Amino acid sequence: MTILVTGGAGYIGSHTSILLIEAGYDIIVFDNFSNASHESIKRVEKIVGQSITLIEGDIRNRTDLENVFSSYSIDAVIHFAGLKAVGESVEKPLSYYDNNIYGTMVLCEIMSKHNCKSIVFSSSATVYGDPHTTPIKEDFPLSATNPYGRSKLFIEEMLRDLHISDSSWKIVLLRYFNPVGAHSSGTIGEDPNGIPNNLMPFIAQTAVGKRSYLSIFGDDYDTHDGTGVRDYIHVMDLADGHVKALNIIKNLSKVMTINLGTGTGYSVLDMVKAFEKASGKKVPYQIAPRRAGDVAKCFADPSYAKKILGWEAKKGIVQMCEDSWRWQANNPDGYKGKSI
Ligand code: NAD
Ligand code: WQD
pLDDT of residue 340: 72
Contacts of 125 (CB under 8 A, 6+ apart): 136, 175, 176, 177, 178, 231, 259, 261, 298, 300
Rounded Cα distance, 66 and 73, in Å: 12
pLDDT of residue 255: 98
Contact 124, 152 (CB under 8 A): yes
Question: Measured from the CB, is residue 12 less than 6 Å from ligand 1?
Answer: yes
| Cα Rg of the chain, angstroms | 19
Rounded Cα distance, 273 and 189, in Å: 21
Across the range 130-143, mean pLDDT stands at 97
Asked if residue 135 has a cis previous peptide bond (ω within 30° of 0), the answer is yes
Question: Measured from the CB, is residue 268 less than 6 Å from ligand 2?
Answer: yes
Q: What is the CA(56)–ligand 2 centre distance, in A?
A: 30
Q: What is the CA(48)–ligand 1 centre distance, in A?
A: 22
pLDDT of residue 339: 74
Contacts of 250 (CB under 8 A, 6+ apart): 118, 170
Which bound ligand lies closest to the C-alpha atom of 226? 2
Question: Measured from the CB, is residue 178 less than 6 Å from ligand 2?
Answer: yes
Task: State the CB neighbour count (10 A cutoff) for residue 234.
Answer: 24
Residue 146 CA, distance from chain mean position? 18
pLDDT of residue 337: 79
Q: What is the CA(7)–ligand 1 centre distance, in A?
A: 6
Given ligand 1 and candidates 88, 122, 159, which is best to mutate, with the most ligand atoms within 8 Å of its CB?
122
Across the range 8-23, mean pLDDT stands at 98
Ligand 2: atom nearest CA of 216 is 30
Residue 27 CA: distances (Å) to CA of 11, 68, 220: 16, 12, 47
285 carries an active-site annotation: no
Burial of 193 (0-12, 13-18, 19+ CB in 10 A): exposed
Question: Measured from the CB, is residue 294 less than 6 Å from ligand 2?
Answer: yes
Question: Measured from the CB, is residue 60 less than 6 Å from ligand 1?
Answer: yes
Ligand 1: atom nearest CA of 84 is 34
Ligand 1: atom nearest CA of 8 is 9
Fold of the 2-336 domain: Rossmann fold (3.40.50)
Across the range 52-72, mean pLDDT stands at 98
Q: What is the CA(198)–ligand 2 centre distance, in A?
A: 5
Rounded Cα distance, 164 and 158, in Å: 10
Kindly report, residue by residue over 257-296, the tens digit of the pLDDT. 999 999 999 999 999 999 999 999 999 999 999 999 999 9
Kindly report, residue by residue over 25-35, the tens digit of the pLDDT. 999 999 999 99
Task: State the CB neighbour count (10 A cutoff) for residue 314.
Answer: 11
Rounded (5°) CA angle 241-173-261:
45
Cα atoms in the 13 Å half-sphere on the side-chain side of 209 = 5
Contact 185, 235 (CB under 8 A): no
Question: Measured from the CB, is residue 82 less than 6 Å from ligand 1?
Answer: yes
Question: Measured from the CB, is residue 238 less than 6 Å from ligand 1?
Answer: no
- The SS3 assignment for 240 reads helix
Rounded Cα distance, 145 and 130, in Å: 9
Which alpha helices (H) appear in the chain, and where do they start and end? 11-22, 38-48, 62-71, 86-91, 93-96, 103-113, 147-165, 199-207, 235-249, 268-279, 303-309, 317-330
Across the range 295-300, mean pLDDT stands at 97
Q: Is the pLDDT of residue 224 over 90?
A: yes
Rounded Cα distance, 197 and 177, in Å: 15
Q: Is the pLDDT of residue 338 over 80?
A: no
Given ligand 1 and candidates 34, 64, 104, which is best to mutate, with the most ligand atoms within 8 Å of its CB?
34
Ligand 1: atom nearest CA of 99 is 18
Cα end-to-end distance, the chain, whole Å? 30
Kindly report, residue by residue over 80-128, the tens digit of the pLDDT. 999 999 999 999 999 999 999 999 999 999 999 999 999 999 999 999 9
Query: Domain map of the chain by residue range?
Result: 2-336
Kindly report, residue by residue over 153-201, the tens digit of the pLDDT. 999 999 999 999 999 999 999 999 999 999 999 999 999 999 999 999 9
Contact 28, 79 (CB under 8 A): no
pLDDT of residue 291: 96
Given ligand 1 and candidates 12, 105, 127, 230, which is best to mutate, with the most ligand atoms within 8 Å of its CB?
12
Indicate the DSSP class of residue 100.
I
Contacts of 108 (CB under 8 A, 6+ apart): 119, 158, 159, 162
Question: Measured from the CB, is residue 151 less than 6 Å from ligand 1?
Answer: no
Which bound ligand lies closest to the C-alpha atom of 269? 2
Question: Measured from the CB, is residue 303 less than 6 Å from ligand 2?
Answer: no
Share of the chain above pLDDT 70, in %: 100
Residue having the nearest C-alpha atom to atom 23 of ligand 2: 124
pLDDT of residue 294: 95
Q: Residues 11, 25, 97, 148: which is the catalytic one?
A: 148
Q: Is the pLDDT of residue 68 over 80?
A: yes
Rounded Cα distance, 266 and 164, in Å: 38
Which alpha helices (H) appear in 166-286, and where do they start and end? 199-207, 235-249, 268-279
